[in-house]
Chains A and B, each alone.
Chain A
Amino acid sequence: MKLIVNGVEQQVTAKTMAELVTEMGYEDVPVATARNQTVVAKRNRETTDIQEGDRIEILIPMQGG
């Protein structure tokens, strides 16, 4: 299915947010996730289904002022 992940269209096989995080290569770094501008907490990723056309954000810790 096609999703928009961090602003870029992606073809993925993941069906849940947890699977998507792994598929996108973030299994070794803490990430924050949002689906259609709603936060998906860590504890809810395995039970949060993703659907065609979803806009997903996967964010990682970065330098900040």
Chain B
Amino acid sequence: MADALTLYGTTLQSRLMLGTAQYPSPAILAEAIKISKAEIVTVSLRRETTGGTGGREFWTMIKELGVHVLPNTAGCHTAKEAILTAELARDVFDTDWIKLEVIGHADTLQPDVFGLVDGARELTAQGFKVFPYTTDDIVVAEKLLAVGCEVLMPWGAPIGSGKGLNNRFALKAMRAHFPRVPLVVDAGIGVPSHAAEAMELGYDAILLNTAVAKAGDPVQMAKGFALGLEAGRLAYLAGAMEPRDMAVPSTPVLGLAFSEI
């Protein structure tokens, strides 16, 4: 398979991972997933609200789409909560994949990297395949790899902010430091050019939700992201030119008419 992505032994053609929350309707969510060609979607576990049937319809729709499901531990603020949520998710979703979120700050939703490493260690020991939502800190990344993570998911910007790549330098350094580890920019992506930029840096995939769900037309935006990722990936594979400080004419100077005048 040409340019396939492999995560924990699963081969994927798409490099877009799509969140399923906040869409205007289940039908629009389904269309967005289809047009984006995403093969992994994130899901959660929650109490059913009184009289609500959204969760049931949602699960039926996801099953019919035949995509890989990546349950999350969103909303967990301690490793203990996240571990319990992961155990519950494994039982209901029949997958050992878990998007591990341990939130450390209420305003920024910044990961608590200490709890994250603790949670990843325990979950890996239990046989989970952990997709850690982390920062762009290389020291934390090394610790996550040391406890058994085979994928790293650094943030681009705070969850739901749509700010893009807040620290391009750190993300570039992370890519250079871990050339063979699948790296996924998770969170903060707002428009397809942000995703393309991450792919141009050599990132392996993008996980996003709000940018599509809260777009004026989520289905169109999902297609835009699919194209943006593809463009960025092709640019990375092709190898970009080196930027220069001075102008260099692209049209040959030799043979210019009136050059003797």
Q: Which residues of A pack against B, CB within 8 Å?
A: 6-7, 26, 28-34, 37, 39, 41-42, 57-65
Q: Are A64 and B43 in contact (CB under 8 A)?
A: yes
Minimum C-beta distance from B49 to chain A (A)? 9
CA gap between A61 and B92 in the complex, in Å: 8
- Taking each of B22, B29, B43, B159, which has the highest tally of chain A beta carbons within 10 Å of its own beta carbon? B43
Contact of B44 among A37, A41, A63 (CB under 8 A): A63
Q: Are B210 and A65 in contact (CB under 8 A)?
A: yes
Contact of A65 among B46, B47, B84, B159 (CB under 8 A): B159
| 15 A-B residue pairs with CB within 8 Å | A6-B48, A29-B56, A31-B92, A42-B92, A58-B47, A59-B46, A59-B47, A59-B88, A60-B47, A63-B20, A63-B21, A64-B21, A64-B74, A65-B159, A65-B209
List 9 tightest A-B contacts by C-beta distance, closest first.
A64-B44, A65-B19, A65-B209, A32-B88, A32-B92, A61-B59, A63-B21, A62-B46, A59-B45
Q: What total count of A-B pairs have CB within 8 Å?
A: 93
CA gap between A63 and B54 in the complex, in Å: 9
CA gap between A42 and B128 in the complex, in Å: 18
- Taking each of A30, A31, A37, A63, which has the highest tally of chain B beta carbons within 10 Å of its own beta carbon? A63
CA gap between A9 and B42 in the complex, in Å: 31
Q: Does B89 contact A (CB under 8 A)?
A: yes
- Taking each of B46, B89, B91, B209, which has the highest tally of chain A beta carbons within 10 Å of its own beta carbon? B91
Minimum C-beta distance from A6 to chain B (A)? 4
* Interface range on chain B (Cβ under 8 Å from partner): 20 to 34
> Interface code B71-88, partner A: CB below 8 Å = 1, 0 otherwise?
110100000000010011
Q: Are A60 and B210 in contact (CB under 8 A)?
A: no
What are the residues of chain B within 8 A of A7 when measuring CB–CB?
47
Q: Are A60 and B89 in contact (CB under 8 A)?
A: no
CA gap between A59 and B74 in the complex, in Å: 14
Chain B residues 88-120 with CB under 8 Å of chain A are: 88-89, 91-93
Smallest CB-CB separation from B187: which chain A residue?
A65
Minimum C-beta distance from B73 to chain A (A)? 9
CA gap between A6 and B56 in the complex, in Å: 17
What are the residues of chain B within 8 A of A6 when measuring CB–CB?
47-48
Minimum C-beta distance from B57 to chain A (A)? 10
What are the residues of chain B within 8 A of A65 when measuring CB–CB?
19-22, 42, 44, 72, 74, 159-160, 209-210
Smallest CB-CB separation from A31: which chain B residue?
B92
Q: Does B236 contact A (CB under 8 A)?
A: no
